[in-house]
Chain A
């Protein structure tokens, strides 16, 4: 099989033509999407070029500290992004999220690369792409779980207070909401697993086939990554919802109304 055909400047300009068509369509039909599409395109171009250059540079180094360094940078960006989506830009929350996401991803990465695939070295070709995928998914799951637990507790304030008034601990009062939040965080991954290969071919599998892998091998790698994503999603969602529901309660087992109002929107 031939390796993938290289793309250059000319090809990238050609790639931008369909996007220009989208913009033209938006202008013609007054869809109001020009600004969004332009910004998204510009960001995608800059971010992908940068990440391509950086990862390429790390690939050439073949040293463990560059690999770990890059993974750590990715982890903190994921931690800060997740914390931002949880309505708290505070440093402590960002650190906590980085710790959860980093820990979960590290466990999965070690298992899949060392035990399953059997890469016996710091091979950035495996660690960086797998790490990025797992981290990104875990970040989304954690943010979803925490957003959901917060909004549910705000919406069901009354029931939560009934529990508390009967002598329930914050954990007992929040447990139904935490359980639902973890379920909600897993839904996108589970849905993706249900239709994978039938309705759409996942990006990683497509990429591997473009890169010259046999379709069956690409499918098996896709199975590996799905298993990893499900694991990381559920660990990250459980840990973050299981720890962060507590910030909506005071030490004296009361709902923290100020915090609910701040985080839970108008319902609080």
Chain B
């Protein structure tokens, strides 16, 4: 997956055009993991939303699986590049309906749906008994897991995660991250993960991009970026984060 985004502007009207992303050039290899970190409001969420075309880049190009995203039919792109939003993205219906929704939307329910649902629950570490419960009644941790399961059930090639651990206590967050690591390895899944906690990137390994004010200020392997960066703004962000998270 490769993307060069020259710019993304917030098109509220000519008078208040805001440049959200500028000159972003990133590449993730198949089965790779990219963490996107940065202060809030830096453009991290916008960046992942560009990959499955929930937002549109105003200039530049993004390729997914060797093809520019504009060449993909939108539905197919979004089903191959699945997305798990920040907390509480479950719809007000049963967990089972949440999980099978993507199949219902395109009208092709796989014959092995029940096995798939079982497999995905297993994968995210949930019990069968949650299936008939209304999604709104679940705990934050369970919701995050169902959202993850819903993103994984269609066996996507790419998984976009926007702060998957937000709202979780540290122990649950660690569990979820470990689970994500296992899923990635077992499925050769390409992952792009937005986080504001550097600790998470360190735990999972892979690549790291630091984005500040809509620009990539540093990128490379997690260790290299943390150890070597000479960029003052990045240092300041990384150190600030160290302080914040202990």
Contact = CB atoms under 8 A, between A and B. Distances in A.
A166 B102 contact: yes
Interface string A156-189: 0011011111111100100000000000000000
B12 interface: yes
Contacts of A169: 75, 105
Contact of A252 (B10, B11, B53, B106): B53
Interface string B55-81: 110000000000000100011101100
Interface string B3-18: 0000000111100000
Given A158-B89, A166-B102, A258 B56 contact: no
Given A252-B53, A252-B56, A254-B55, A165 B105 contact: no
A159 B82 CA distance: 16
Contacts of A162: 85, 89-91
A261 B105 contact: no
B78 A167 contact: yes
B83 interface: yes
B101 A166 contact: yes
B83 A165 contact: yes
Interface in A226-268: 250, 252-254, 257-258, 261
B12 A165 contact: no
Contacts of A166: 78-79, 101-102, 105, 150
B52 interface: yes
A167 B54 contact: no
Interface string B85-118: 1001111100000000110011000000000000
Contacts of A164: 54, 78
A257 B70 CA distance: 19
Interface in B134-155: 150
Contact of A254 (B56, B105, B106): B56
Contacts of A253: 53, 74-75, 78
Contacts of A254: 53-56
A253 B54 CA distance: 8
Interface in B172-210: none
Nearest to B83: A165
B67 to A, nearest CB: 15
A156 to B, nearest CB: 10
A167 B78 CA distance: 5
A169 to B, nearest CB: 7
Contacts of B52: 165
20 contacts: A162-B89, A162-B91, A163-B91, A164-B78, A165-B52, A165-B85, A166-B78, A166-B150, A167-B74, A167-B76, A167-B79, A252-B53, A252-B56, A252-B70, A252-B74, A253-B53, A254-B53, A254-B56, A258-B11, A258-B12
Given A159-B92, A167-B79, A252-B70, 14 more contacts: A162-B85, A162-B89, A162-B90, A163-B105, A165-B82, A166-B105, A167-B102, A167-B105, A167-B106, A168-B105, A252-B74, A253-B53, A254-B56, A257-B12
Interface of A: 158-159, 161-169, 172, 250, 252-254, 257-258, 261
